[in-house]
Amino acid sequence: MGTRGAGSRGGLVSLALLGGVLVAGLASGADGPAGKKSIYDEKADAREQVDKALAEARKDGKRVLLMFGGDWCGWCHRLHKLFEEDREIASVLSNEYALVMIDTQAPNAEGYLKEASKGQEGVGFPFLAVLDADGKLLVGQKTDPLEEGDHHDPKKVKAFLDQWKVAAKDAEAVVKDALARASAEDKRVLLTFGAPWCGWCHRLEDFLARPEIAEALADDLIVAKVDVDRMTHGHEVMMRHRKEVVGGIPWYVVLDGQGKAHGTADTAFGNIGYPIDPKEIDAFVALLEAQKTIEPARIEVVRKGLDSAAAAIKAEMEKRRAERAAIQKAG
């Protein structure tokens, strides 16, 4: 299925007294002090939350952004609101960072805060830190330099985020490397195109990365991904191979080592996208069969995997529809 169009600042706190909790994501959803939405969770385990964020960062080529504070911290709520409401900042955060909210009064945050603020005096909140995908601290940042009067300056906040995000890859180089490997190993390239905001793109990437699917395709295909939003020349590379856009993304093409196309996601009914419906699954399997090199038994592994995944996704979607209907009925 393709995407169709798809208070006052916290004062100084003795680090020796701090415990901590981390919560991945933008908010927990409960009510905080004075009726404010809670943006921290005092019961989450810091280590588990950071490990989860690092796994996301490694998978998606992102950085991890830690935001230390608490629901008692008015400036924390202001910065969090800016994260949510400023479109440019929200886009950078979503595309480039795994955000982790750390409550300073819950277990296991003390060590992270001590490391992030090492060598800095007068640490107030919110306090930011950026980790690379391996967990290495890149920077600890006081947020008062990002303020302007009674708010955080959007330009300063975005500049900070832009400074510490992962350097953009060049889609041309990604494709060149994949084709070189294909030529050397006598394989073809399954080149996929997606974007961070595209849920079906993530589903396709996750499916192709499943151990049994990766093993089934490994002898014949090199799977490479172009992010049309995060990579330079990403859209241009896609349009070089895609003559017209029908059905959004994900989209894909099979290339030989010389860059010649041997089939795409385009069909008579449009873009296959993520194969969830029977005709889409049949079309994806036909694309693999058209390569003439992949053993039927391996293709059958892929088909069974798609059938199973489709059933699980449809069950999940139905469950969500039922939950929404129940909420609407109760309201």
- What is the value of pTM for the model shown? 0.80
CA-nearest of 308, 244, 301 to 275 is 308
pLDDT at 15: 34
| CB atoms near residue 51 (< 10 Å) | 14
pLDDT for 106 equals 81
Residue 238 Cα distances to 181, 248, 307, angstroms: 20, 12, 28
d(CA 135, CA 58): 10
Looking at 101, 136, 164, the residue that finishes a domain is 164
Is residue 95 very low, low, confident or very high in pLDDT (cuts 50, 70, 90)? very high
What is the average pLDDT across 12-39? 46
Q: Are residues 243 and 275 located together in one domain of the fold?
A: yes
pLDDT digits (tens, 9 = 90+) for 192-227: 999 999 999 999 999 999 999 999 999 999 999 999
pLDDT digits (tens, 9 = 90+) for 32-88: 555 678 999 988 888 899 999 999 999 999 999 999 999 999 999 999 999 999 999
Contacts of 100 (CB under 8 A, 6+ apart): 22, 23, 24, 49, 50, 53, 64, 65, 66, 67
**Cα 262 → chain centroid:** 30
Going by C-alpha positions, the residue among 212, 232, 236, 235 that lies closest to residue 297 is 212
**CA 112 – CA 129 distance, rounded (Å):** 9
Residue ranges making up the domain that contains 234: 171-318
Q: Where does a domain end: 145, 164, 183?
A: 164
**Domain assignment present for 260:** yes
268 has pLDDT over 90: yes
CATH of the domain at 263: 3.40.30.10
- Predicted confidence band of residue 8 (pLDDT cuts 50, 70, 90): very low
Which residues, other chains included, contact 91 with Cβ-Cβ below 8 Å and sequence gap of 6+? none
* 23 lies in the same domain as 108: yes
The answer on 98 and 55 residing in a single domain is: yes
For tokens 């981390």, what's the residue? 22
Average pLDDT of the chain is: 89
What's the structural domain count of the chain? 2
- Of 114, 140, 164, the last residue of a domain is 164
Burial of 154 (0-12, 13-18, 19+ CB in 10 A): middle
- Residue 225: what are its φ and ψ, rounded to 5°? -120, 135
Say what the pLDDT of residue 325 is. Answer: 83
pLDDT at 330: 81
